[in-house]
Amino acid sequence: MKGISRRGLLASTASTLVLSGLAGSSRAIAAPAPSGSAVPHPDTEWRYYAADQANTRYSPLDQINAANFNDLEVAWSFKTDALGARKEYQFEATPLLIKGRLFTTAGSRRDCIALDAATGELLWMHRLDEGERALNSPRQLSGHGVSYWTDGTKERILYVTIGYQLVSLDAATGQVDPEFGVNGVVDLKRDFDQEIDPVHSDVGLHSTPLVVKDVVVIGAAHTAGDVPEVRQNVKGYVRGFDIKTGRRKWIFHTIPLKGEYGYETWIGGDADKAGNTGSWAQMSADEELGLVYIPVELPTGDETGIYRRGNALFGESLVAVDIETGFRKWHYQMVHHGLWDTDLPCAPILCDIPHNGRMVKALAQPSKQAYLYVLDRTNGKPIWPIVERKVEAGDVPGEWYSPTQPVPTKPPAYDQQGVSIDDLIDFTPELRAQAVEFVKNYKIGPLFTPPVISKPERWGTISAPGVQGGTNWPGGSYDPETHIAYIYSKTQPSVMGIIPNANTSVSEFAYVHGIAGMAPRKMSRMGAESGGGDFRPPAPPPPKPGQKAGGLPPGFLAIQGLPLLKPPYGRITAIDLTKGDIAWQVAHGETPDNIRNHPALKGLKIPRTGRPGNLGPLTTKTLVICGEAGFYTNEYGVRGAMLRAYDKATGQEKGAVYMPAPQSGSPMTYMLQGKQYIVVAIGGGNYSAELVAYRLPGKA
Amino acid sequence: MAEHSKIHVWGSAAMGGALLLLGGAIAHAEASERTVWSGVYASDQAERGKAAYAEQCAGCHGATLAGIDTAPPLTGSVFLNNWNNTSAGDLFERIHSTMPLNNPGSLSAKATADIEAYIFQANGFPAGQAALPPSQPMMAGIKILATKPAG
């Protein structure tokens, strides 16, 4: 095997870029070169966060398959400890692969780095020390990664800093592009159609910019809105920038201005003062249709909507806008005036599916509420009917309740929705009996049961899925050949109680998310100094008759330390979009240690329960590959998590390899010099962030 | 040849002895192992920790330690399983070096230990006589176990 210099490596892979460029369609980029190529295993690329602009997280590679998955070895690993002033434990990025180089953000300062994809060697690093501006950001740490653009000659890497600045770098050197913005940087807190404080304002972004044609599209993220500090927060508008100059091309008002479409869906002009309504999720784009698909979060107040009365567009909507102008083509609102923190958390998957005898340009939007919404992406019309169902109103003074909510008839929900007695833990009759007793102090009901005023005899509504979903930011995966979507979701209910608040230094909201007897706590807005508000410890709640003192506080959903609801706690669902049905579903993740060792469960045979977390699966020619969300202690007494592979046709597990820590960023794959690699970001607990590359044994 | 065999046998015997000794050491260590179930913090320390938690942590991890949209829970199944078989020192290090996110490194070692004591209390681990020491190496020998060891 002759030695290969980096220069040789880059030169030999340059042809790949040309081939990919000729293929034209973004979806062809992860595909091998056309047949007839002299190279048996041509190099492939991974140019977008989830493989392509369609967000399929799909690659047709098959060198790693069911027969050899267990043989995978660590090719290299890259620890991110030295990036930033301290270690990071929440490494959510998926790197891009272009011409033998991996590009990602990493470390607690969100540095931008390039690595040699064959060895993990650091090629360059870009760092922006933003001081206070970064410390005040609502989105800390390394973020979800970077974006790539090329005109065939110039190559650019773009990322958003913790302090909400857009940076454009030369992919070859990591040096800023002097023609972009001011010395390579666009200050995203300016030219925003609102005046905001450059250091303290509540806006940031941890998703990657969306690069489509010569436009880079940027969303906005804010502090979580359970206890919103202010009523008039930053408005989360979405903007398109010229990728060559950094000049703003357009802005889309996710909260319409007076006179704009959608303004009338807000009652009493509430749109004027409302904030948030950002797009913190990844986005998708269809260059042929000329559309960008923008998932939008709630307006200010995750569980209280008293200052955003009405359906309040474009909250919890998917909006399709023109790539060049930002004009709205269509929108679809998944939840009307939501009270359950059901932001649209991830990109819709663009998919061409057979329906009623013809191919339809569709999209499939995974959600926190465990519905996969399937729409015609040319016009936003549902592929299968979505019907308005009557829902219950709650008892919060001043709240506005939507009388109905949209409910898809197909595909069926892919995770637990709502809570009934049948859904409670039932490993043993004793545990079930305790759970039945437990929920008497809560409100339970179907999906869209509203949050209620918290009081000792009824602490709140138990909502499943909870505030984190369902599915969250990693989104799903999709096989364009079989038209099957693969979605990870978790079963992790939340208590949604509402309490009055008179302390305006904590929140300007008269009612906030909380539990009776506990003073509302200021959210770490990170835009505010740590001070003000009432920092006395929460008063202990009044003990209920018969309640044991010193136990878990109310609002904590556990029975003898075990989850309140039945497993699986984490699952992967295959959804066949040719039929709108579930093809298979598996519990994903080893049974946690505290269940395997629980004295109340001794002698019971409990099937694998899965683990709750935020995971993005990867689909290849034959496999669905996904790491576990949590640590467990294996048969050798070693802590870690497994990277698992399932037969994508049946869901049967075909192999698993050890990772020292859980999957924290979604895996990606590529072929380089005849070897297929799987690269995944891991970390959590006491194990700091690391990028790990796996490949089959033998010389690379 | 004979010489060689002799050495070989001798070597095995020595190794066997070493293994026996090692086995004894392990048994001894297990017998005296300190875990979060052994009473490793003091009640008044947890009270101080509760106040510090409310000021420094509750904004993200919630008043009930149940976590919110953007921060994980610090009690219950998810928390305990992710920290099972690590040490109190590991948890101390993570909190001390990375929290709170908007001002990492600002918590004193004492405040960190107090907050950790409160987290232990909230997870149902019993209080003891001595306080959790404000030092990572001093608590590295305290194992976090999600379930109470038998006996």
Using the Cβ of A552 and the Cβ atoms of chain B, whether some distance falls under 8 Å is answered with yes
Lowest-confidence pick of A43-52, A123-132, A140-149, B96-105? B96-105
Percentage of chain A modeled with pLDDT above 70? 90
pLDDT score of A551: 55
Average pLDDT, chain A: 91
pLDDT score of A554: 82
pLDDT score of A699: 67
pLDDT band of A236, cuts 50, 70, 90: very high
In 10 A of CB A510, how many CB atoms?
Answer: 16
Contact at CB, A553 and B78, closer than 8 angstroms: no
For B46-60, the three-class secondary structure string (H helix, E strand, C coil) is HHHHHHHHHHHCHHH
pLDDT band of A698, cuts 50, 70, 90: confident
Domain B34-143 has CATH 1.10.760.10: yes
CA quadruple B55, B59, B60, B66: dihedral positive or negative?
positive
For residue A592, the chain B residue with the least C-alpha distance is B81
Of A136, A595, A685, the CB nearest to B102: A136
Q: Which helix (H) or strand (E) holds A599?
A: none
pLDDT score of A391: 98
**In the predicted structure, residue A655 carries a pLDDT above the cut 90:** yes
Furthest-apart CA pair in chain B: how many Å? Answer: 76
In 10 A of CB A404, how many CB atoms?
Answer: 12
Mean pLDDT confidence for A683-687: 96
- Going by C-alpha positions, the residue among A598, A521, A253 that lies closest to residue B84 is A598
A 173-202 residues with CB < 8 A to B: none
| Best A524, A530, A562 residue to mutate vs chain B (most B CBs within 10 Å) | A524
**In the predicted structure, residue B83 carries a pLDDT above the cut 50:** yes
pLDDT score of B62: 83
Alpha helices in chain B (DSSP H): 2-31, 43-56, 58-61, 76-83, 88-98, 109-122
Contact at CB, A535 and B53, closer than 8 angstroms: no
For residue B100, the chain A residue with the least C-alpha distance is A524
What is the rounded distance in angstroms from the CA atom of residue A523 to the CA atom of residue A223?
8
Give the gap in angstroms from C-alpha B64 to the nearest C-alpha of chain A: 6
Using the Cβ of A593 and the Cβ atoms of chain B, whether some distance falls under 8 Å is answered with yes
What is the rounded distance in angstroms from the CA atom of residue A278 to the CA atom of residue A221?
6
Here the ipTM equals 0.81
**In the predicted structure, residue B13 carries a pLDDT above the cut 50:** no
For residue B146, the chain A residue with the least C-alpha distance is A594
Mean pLDDT confidence for A669-693: 97
What is the rounded distance in angstroms from the CA atom of residue A524 to the CA atom of residue A539?
20
**In the predicted structure, residue B150 carries a pLDDT above the cut 90:** no
Lowest-confidence pick of A95-109, A140-154, A446-460, B29-43? B29-43
What is the rounded distance in angstroms from the CA atom of residue B44 to the CA atom of residue A258?
56
Residues A569-623: pLDDT tens digits? 999 999 999 999 999 999 999 999 999 999 999 999 999 999 999 999 999 999 9
Sheet holding A284-286, edge to edge: A284-286, A291-295, A317-322, A328-333
Mean pLDDT confidence for A24-30: 39
Chain A residue numbers with beta carbons less than 8 Å from the beta carbon of B76 are 552, 556, 558, 561
Q: What residues are paired with A494 via a beta bridge?
A: A463
pLDDT score of B40: 97
Of A141, A611, A631, the CB nearest to B84: A631
For residue A549, the chain B residue with the least C-alpha distance is B124
pLDDT score of B76: 87
pLDDT score of A117: 98
Cα A533 to chain centroid, rounded:
31
Of A524, A537, A631, the CB nearest to B81: A631
**In the predicted structure, residue A305 carries a pLDDT above the cut 50:** yes
B 2-21 residues with CB < 8 A to A: none
The residue among A561 and A269 whose pLDDT is bigger is A269
CB pairs under 8 A between A and B: 152
Mean pLDDT confidence for B30-49: 89
Chain A residue numbers with beta carbons less than 8 Å from the beta carbon of B147 are 561, 593-594, 597-599
Between helix B109-122 and helix B43-56 the angle, nearest 10°, is 100
Mean pLDDT confidence for A242-258: 98
**In the predicted structure, residue A489 carries a pLDDT above the cut 50:** yes
What is the rounded distance in angstroms from the CA atom of residue A291 to the CA atom of residue B110?
55
Q: What residues are paired with A113 via a beta bridge?
A: A104, A125
pLDDT band of A2, cuts 50, 70, 90: very low
Of A88, A599, A612, the CB nearest to B78: A612
Mean pLDDT confidence for A291-302: 97
Residues B97-138: pLDDT tens digits? 999 988 888 999 999 999 999 999 999 999 999 999 999 999
Give the gap in angstroms from C-alpha A467 to the nearest C-alpha of chain B: 6
Lowest-confidence pick of A386-390, A573-577, B30-34? B30-34
Contact at CB, B146 and A562, closer than 8 angstroms: no
**In the predicted structure, residue A517 carries a pLDDT above the cut 50:** yes
Using the Cβ of B30 and the Cβ atoms of chain A, whether some distance falls under 8 Å is answered with no
Chain B residue numbers with beta carbons less than 8 Å from the beta carbon of A519 are 63
**In the predicted structure, residue B18 carries a pLDDT above the cut 80:** no
- Going by C-alpha positions, the residue among A474, A478, A211, A471 that lies closest to residue A349 is A478
Task: Identify the burial level of A97 via C-beta atoms within 10 angstroms of its C-beta, where 0-12 means exposed, 13-18 middle and 19 or more buried.
Answer: buried
Asked if A661 and A687 count as a contact pair (C-beta separation under 8 A), the reply is yes
Using the Cβ of B29 and the Cβ atoms of chain A, whether some distance falls under 8 Å is answered with no
Contact at CB, A630 and B83, closer than 8 angstroms: no
A328: CB partners within 8 A, 6+ apart: A252, A261, A319, A320, A321
| Best A133, A521, A596, A688 residue to mutate vs chain B (most B CBs within 10 Å) | A521
pLDDT band of B10, cuts 50, 70, 90: very low
Asked if A65 and A621 count as a contact pair (C-beta separation under 8 A), the reply is yes
Give the gap in angstroms from C-alpha A56 to the nearest C-alpha of chain B: 25
What is the rounded distance in angstroms from the CA atom of residue B1 to the CA atom of residue A678?
52
Fold of A19-541+551-695: Methanol Dehydrogenase; Chain A (2.140.10)
